[in-house]
Each structure stands twice: as C-alpha cells, then as structure tokens.
Structure 1
C-alpha cells in the first residue's frame, strides 16, 4: 500500500471513530446526565427514561456502536484491500 492510500485509509478510520464517539458522548453524557430531567417525563418498562439511559441505555448503545465499528471497518478493509 502506498503512502497516499494509507493516509486515506486512516483518514476514513478516524472519521468513523470521531462520529461513533460523538454518538456515544451524546447518549452517555447527554441523555444520562444533561437531559435526565427532561427524559424522566417518559418511561420504559416502568422506569423513567433518564434513569434507564444512565443505567442501561448507555451500555446498550456502546455495544451497538462496537458492532457498527466492526461492520464499518470490515467494509473499509475490503475497500482498501487490507482485509484478512
């Protein structure tokens, strides 16, 4: 792989990471801390939504983001022909 291709590969990888980390921040910090009072107006399974995001939702979101990163990186590896 030449230098320009490596640079483009890592640029896309960093773009994916930043996007996923922003989503994680919004869900964990935003929904679990900043917006908790607003979200507590709603309920999921008998629990207030703000509490749910702080206790469970952020964990589920993190797992979904890990799976999304795996899928995105597999596609990126195939695109740049660096898959195993």
Structure 2
C-alpha cells in the first residue's frame, strides 16, 4: 500500500467515525430533547422530566463522552495506519 492509498484509507475511516459520532449526538440532542421529549417526559430523573433533562444537560454530557470516544478511536486508527509517534 502506497502512502497516498494509506492516507486515503485513513481519511475515509476518520470521516466515517466523525459522521457516526455526530449522528449519535444529533439523535441525543435533537431527538431526545425535542422530537421524543413527550415520551421521555413520562420518566423522571433527579426530580426533572427526562426530556427536559436531555434538552438542558444530557446532550452536553453525551458530547463530552463522545469527545473521549473520538480520541480513543483516533488513537487506534493512528496505530492501525502507522501515524502514531
């Protein structure tokens, strides 16, 4: 595999990870906070309705977790393609 092919494969896999993680964040923030809020509001978390909690705090927590997941995925990807130093 040439350097150019390896770089293309690396970038393609990187974009796949980014799109997947952005989709998860979209579902959690927009879906749970807006679209599914009526169904989620039947459940309470810490005294607050779950739909309200996701809209106010849950999406931020998920975003922070997704950052750590992305770092872990990228470290593995770097090792896979030999870009780790």
Q: Which residue of 2 aligns with 1:2?
A: 3
Q: CA separation in 1, counterparts of 2:11 and 2:62?
A: 24
Q: Which residue of 2 aligns with 1:13?
A: 14
Structure 1 residue matching 2:24: 3-state secondary structure: helix
Structure 2 residue matching 1:83: 3-state secondary structure: coil
Give every structure 1 segment of 4 or more consecutive aligned residues whose post-TM-superposition deviation is greater than 3 Å. Answer: none
Q: Which residue of 2 aligns with 1:40?
A: 41
Q: Confirm or deny that 1:62 pairs with 2:55.
A: no
Q: CA separation in 1, counterparts of 2:52 and 2:3?
A: 49
Q: 5+ unaligned residues in a row in structure 2: which ranges?
A: none
Per the normalisation by structure 2, the TM-score is 0.96
Per the normalisation by structure 1, the TM-score is 0.97
Q: How many residues align?
A: 84
Q: 5+ unaligned residues in a row in structure 1: which ranges?
A: none
Structure 1 residue matching 2:54: 3-state secondary structure: helix
Q: CA separation in 2, counterparts of 1:58 and 1:9?
A: 29
Q: Deviations over 1:15-74 (max 9, x none)?
A: 000100000000000001111111000011111000000011000000000000000000
1:21-36 alignment, distance < 5 Å = 21-36=22-37
